[in-house]
Amino acid sequence: MNRAFVDTDVILDLLTQRTPHFHFAALLFTFAEMKKITLYTSPSVFINAFYILRKHLGTVEAKKALMRLRLLIHVIDSGEKIIDLACLSDFSDLEDAIQYYTAQAHRLGTLITRNIKDYKVNDMIIQSPETYLATKGWI
């Protein structure tokens, strides 16, 4: 089974229909709906997405959008150990470190983001939605 962690930017591309990135984010989640991939994210991604979405959609619509999304993605825990690792890491962005260590702790070998340059790691595949879909032969 294909399993991957999804970062905030991809979720926002989908929910705000940001061009030109919306198409590939929508395809990724379509394959999740078809059960060809299982997608995961962290609670902090939902929090960050809500913060941004409520400015665009309002609080009620932002919550509705996230509830619809939650049907397609699994939210996995980021506990104390992950926070400690993130704070002690060489990542310049704490959020990126938390996403990376959360994906790593749950043995997810792929992290899907548009901010590939922010993840300077050798033990995990970091790909954009477009690249991920292409490597699977889905586009």
Q: What letter would DSSP give residue 116?
A: G
Q: How far is CA 128 from the centre of its chain?
A: 10
Give 26-83 pLDDT, tens digit per residue: 999 999 999 999 999 999 999 999 999 999 999 999 999 999 999 999 999 999 999 9
C-alpha pair distances (Å), 136 with each of 10, 33, 36? 18, 16, 10
Q: What letter would DSSP give residue 88?
A: H
Pairing mode of beta strands 37-41, 73-75: parallel
Where is 12: in which H helix or E strand?
helix 8-15
Give residue limits of the domains in the chain: 2-135
Give 28-43 pLDDT, tens digit per residue: 999 999 999 999 999 9
Side chain identity, residue 33: E
Position 33 scores a pLDDT of 97
Closest-CA residue to 38 (of 63, 8, 74): 74
Is the pTM of the predicted complex or chain greater than 0.85? Answer: yes
User: Does domain 2-135 fall into CATH 3.30.70.270?
Assistant: no
